[in-house]
Structure formats: C-alpha cells, structure tokens
Amino acid sequence: MNRSARRVLLRLFLLALPLVVLTFVAVSLLSSNVDSLHSHNALTFASKVIQPCGSQLPLEIVAPTAPSPSSLPHEELKRQLKQLKQVISQLEDRLRLQGGIAPVGVAVASNNGNDVPCSITYIQKQIEQSEIEKGKKWHNEYEIIPHSLFTLQAYYSTEAGMGRRVVERPIGSRRQDLQEAVSSALSVLNNNRDRGALPQPAAKTKRYVASDFVEGLYRLDPIEGTQYELWFNHQQQPAAASTDNHSKRANLVKVSLLRPHAPLVAVRLEQPLQFEIPIVNIIVPLSGRLSAFESFLNRFKKNVLTAGQSRIHLTVVFFGDKHWNEIQREMLIFEKASGFSNFHLLNINSTFSRARGLQVGVEHWENSPIEDDVLIFLCDVDVAFDSAFLERCRRNAQPKRQAYFPIVFSQYNPNVTRRYTRHRDDSQVPTLHKDTGFWRDFGFGMVCTYRSDFLSLGGFHGGDETTGWGGEDLFLYRKYIRSTMRVIRAPDKNIFHLWHPKKCPNSLGPVQRRDCLQSRGRNEASYDQLALLLFSADADGQSHHLSESEI
C-alpha cells in the first residue's frame, strides 16, 4: 500500500472515529435520561430523540415509566432504530461541515466551544426555565407576554397593528405551526393511551382525533420558545364515571407542549465586498399639489443632499397640463439653489394614476445613459425620508434576490395631536410616538427594488386600470411574495408618511372609496384623541370641532 493510500485511510478513520464516539454518547444519553424521568400527577416531558443544535422540533409527552428494551414491541424497536439512524445522518452532515465541505458564504458557529448535539438534558433545562410548570416573578405588568387563544378555524390575538384585528383565520406559517401542535398533541395522547397512562375512552377502539380538540393557548417567548396548552374532549368508560353530581368535572384532557429555542447557529457570513454604491432612482408620481411638491423638494435638500448623499436620481412623473409650467420652474429654482441636476421631469396628459405614473417612471430609465440596471425607490410626494433610509434601502434590496417593503410611520393630523399631547410634532420630521402616529403595517406603497426585478415580474401590468388612489400597492406586493424573491418587511424609523387632507370623491369605485374613507379615519388621530375631540366640552358646554381648513 503506497503512502497516499495510507493517508486516505487514516483520514477516513479520523473522520469516522468522532461519529462512532458521538453515536455511543447519543445512545448513552438517551437511555440514562429516560431512566431518570420522574412522574407527578400529570404526564412528564421527554425528548423523542437527541436533537442537533439548531433544530426546533416539538417535544413529546411520554409515559412516566419507560419499559425495558426487552419488553419493547417490535414496532417500537424499529422506531427507535430509525431515530438513531436519523441522528447518525445528522452527525455525518456535521462532520462534512467540519471537514471543510460547506456552501459558499456559510459559516457554522462553534456555539461557544460547545458544538455538539443537544441532549435531553438541554431540553429539560429549557422546560424547567419555562413558565409551564410554575410561574415567574415579574417586575411589572408590561413584562408578561400574553397568550393567544386558538381553535382549528380561528385565532384571537392582542397583537397591535393598523388593522386592529380581533379574530383571524390561521394562514401561512401560523396555520402550519398550530396544525403541527395539534397533531403532536394527538400523537402524545394516543401513545400514552396505548401504554395505559391515560384512562381508556368509552370505546376501547376509539383514538383521539382532530375533532376532539376544543381549544388551545400559545405564546412565543423570545428566550424559551413557543409554549402551547391544548385541551381535548375525553370520554371515560361508563364504569369510571362518577355518580356523585357534586363531583362532576369537565371531561377534558390537557396537553402542554414546548417548542424550545436551540442555541444560536451562524448560518451565513457575507464578507465585505468592494463595489460601487448603487444609484437610487427616486420615482414620484404627481398631479397638481404644487405646495406639497415644494415641501418635498425642501425636505429632499435638507435631509438627503446636505447629508452628503451622492448617486441619487429623481424622476417626477406629472399628470395633466395644469401647473406643468410651475413644476418646471420650481425644478429650475431647486437646481440652482442645491446644485442637484440628476433629475427627469416627465409629463403624461391623462387622469392621474399612481400605478401608471410609477410604471412610466421605471420604464423611462432605459433612455438614460447612466446604467442599465438601477435601484428604484417608489415614493410619494407626502413622504419624508433621510439619508439613513436610503442606506437601508441599498442594504435590504439585492438584484434577483431581495426587495425591501418598509413599514412606514404614518403621522396623525397635527391639528389634533398638538391639542391633546405634550409631543410637539414637527410636520417635516414627525416624532415616533403612539400619540403622533402609527405604523402603517398594511401599506405597501413604498418599495426599494431593482429595476430588472420590477420589470421581470411585470410591474403594475396585468392589474385593474385603477385611476387615482388605492389598490396598486397591494397588487405589486403580491407579485413579489408569490415569486422566488425574498421580501424584507420591517418598520423603518427614517421614513414617514406626512398627514395631509384626504379627499374621497364619489367618482371612485365602491371598494376604492370604502378603503379611502377607512384610511382617512385611521390617519386622523388615535382612539383617545378622537374620544377627547368628540366628547370633551368647553366651559359653555359646546363640543370642540375642527375648522374646515384643519380637516
């Protein structure tokens, strides 16, 4: 055997040795921890298998006492053998990563030198720290994380949001999560029933099914994981039923589950790359509203240009002939005052349509000699932003991979808020406070994406030919989330929607006008301020009213 062959065999032996040792440790931990489980009046927790760090598999409730291996049925032995094979496969994957075979740009964390599979001991520690078996001492009422109530058809949550939704139908990942919790609980109930740990139902052949589920509670603790408490109908045998009317209880069985958080694992490390800062083309559709446009240019000069921002382009798409000359004159004045000349003025002689204006602004770039592709920011004249937002726009948008839909802070009517709050809101840069505005979590109009991605998805083409206000933002957002593009959606503290009078003419369609009126009501003030505005009375007993110019 030559030297190279011996070297290969030695390397294979060194790679296989940790696998054998870790497998032995896994089997030892599994048996020792099962034997150490103890029982109270309720069923106890244990992990099904040794889980590698980084996994978030749900726990299973098992019987208080574990049968010896010799008494295990054949199917149970096959199940445990399958689990051990899964553990070995996971360990082999980790050995490959440690051997240097890893995806480009991916780094595996060492977990503070503890880079070994998570044992049942770790899971039990997570359970002991959770608030399932016992309560915790909190400093104040704000530290407690409330639960959410759910059934198979609906969930009820107090999560704040612009829509102030009271009850919702579970969809997406939340639906998958709750269904998995119910399914896991059913497996726990049926496994413990088969082992005799639970009283048999009236019919011995009856097993627990989804229709037995009554309701559940869940909450996500950022440290411990997701906690579930689920209740199921349980019918005892007639002989076990009590004949004492005073001792009757609700015939329910409860299962508590925990999806524990695993230790942090590094997934990707992107090395800093030396590349030219991408140009941001800010596209603003406009119709009339000369004073609003003047304010937009003043904010643009103060918050963006004076901050040293470069590689910025501004495209204004103006509808109609009225005020067109004034808009051109205003841009010339702005150019002389700021020295900024990277802009295009486009004119469309038709009824205002935000969707069409943005589409034309994006497509017009092909006539520009600067670059073929460009980062675009779909904007509005009533939006305030600064250089920090543009940097975040550049970071969170990546060509052919990622788009940024920031959640904008929407300003309340300052004519109302300054009456009932200590926060003096600057109309140019609003204060982030619950009395001055709200996160527009159901608004998708502000977008940072690359022009090539926008066009490849079709932009606003294919939707209703909407004119004026509303509908186009959600249409575009759905195109992105239904594609392979990754969508970043998060509150952004450096972009604001400034309050302005909103008109909802009868010429709008029924759905558009309803949405417009609802938006107008939400934008006016907080619930508390609206109550004070409507119900407070002055010394003469007259209710306070806003003048027509303040609405």
The string of DSSP codes covering 92-147 is: HHHHHHHTT---TT-----TTT--S-B-HHHHHHHHHHSSSSS----SSTTSPPPP
In one letter, which amino acid is 230? L
Question: 281-526: what fold?
Answer: Spore Coat Polysaccharide Biosynthesis Protein SpsA; Chain A (3.90.550)
CA gap 544, 529 in Å, rounded:
12
Q: In Å, how far from its chain's centre is CA 34?
A: 37
In one letter, which amino acid is 123? I
CA gap 318, 350 in Å, rounded:
10
- What is the reported pLDDT for 537? 52
Nearest partner of 354 among 452, 465, 512, judged by Cα: 465
- What is the reported pLDDT for 418? 76
Contact predicate 178/213, CB 8 Å: no
Question: Which residues partner with 377 through β-bridges?
Answer: 282, 448
- What is the reported pLDDT for 53? 43
Question: Which residues partner with 404 through β-bridges?
Answer: 448, 488
Query: Does the model's pTM come out above 0.75?
Result: no
CA dihedral 520→445→353→507, nearest 10 degrees, is: -20
- What is the reported pLDDT for 66? 40
Structure tokens at 486: 């990754």
Contact predicate 372/423, CB 8 Å: no
Characterise 196 by phi-psi region: left (phi > 0), alpha (psi -120 to 50), beta (else): left
Nearest partner of 287 among 336, 326, 343, 335, judged by Cα: 326
Task: Reduce the secondary structure of 423-479 to three states and give it as a string.
Answer: CCCCCCCCCCCCCCEEECCCCCCCEEEEHHHHHHCCCCCCCCCCCECCCHHHHHHHH
- Residue owning tokens 């726009």: 393
- What is the reported pLDDT for 348? 95
**Residue ranges of domains in the chain:** 17-120, 148-236+249-260, 281-526
Nearest partner of 214 among 179, 252, 166, judged by Cα: 252
C-alpha pair distances (Å), 5 with each of 1, 13, 18, 347: 6, 12, 21, 75
Contact predicate 472/466, CB 8 Å: yes
- What is the reported pLDDT for 305? 92
Contact predicate 36/65, CB 8 Å: no
Structure tokens at 208: 């627990």
User: Taking the alpha carbons of 284, 289, 295, 297 in that order, is the dihedral positive or negative?
Assistant: positive
User: Taking the alpha carbons of 61, 65, 68, 71 in that order, is the dihedral positive or negative?
Assistant: negative
Structure tokens at 268: 């990707």
CA gap 353, 371 in Å, rounded:
27
C-alpha pair distances (Å), 381 with each of 38, 365, 430: 66, 20, 16
CA gap 377, 427 in Å, rounded:
22
- What is the reported pLDDT for 173? 87
- What is the reported pLDDT for 38? 38
User: Taking the alpha carbons of 329, 330, 332, 333 in that order, is the dihedral positive or negative?
Assistant: positive
Give ∠ CA 418-424-425 in degrees, rounded to 5.
90
- What is the reported pLDDT for 500? 81
- What is the chain's pLDDT, residue by residue, as a tens digit (551 residues)? 556 555 655 555 555 555 555 555 555 544 444 444 333 334 433 333 333 443 434 443 433 334 444 445 667 677 777 777 666 665 655 554 444 333 333 333 334 444 444 556 777 777 777 766 666 777 766 777 888 889 999 888 877 554 556 788 888 888 999 999 999 999 999 988 877 766 665 555 578 999 999 999 999 888 888 999 999 988 655 444 444 444 445 588 889 999 988 777 787 777 676 567 899 999 999 998 999 999 999 999 999 998 777 789 999 999 998 899 999 999 999 999 999 999 999 999 999 999 999 999 999 987 666 667 899 999 999 999 999 999 999 999 999 999 999 999 999 888 887 777 666 655 566 778 888 888 888 889 999 999 999 999 999 987 665 554 568 899 999 999 999 999 999 999 999 999 888 788 888 888 888 888 887 777 888 777 777 777 765 444 554 555 545 55
Residue 298 three-state SS: helix
C-alpha pair distances (Å), 414 with each of 44, 464, 503: 57, 34, 17
Nearest partner of 226 among 352, 105, 56, judged by Cα: 56
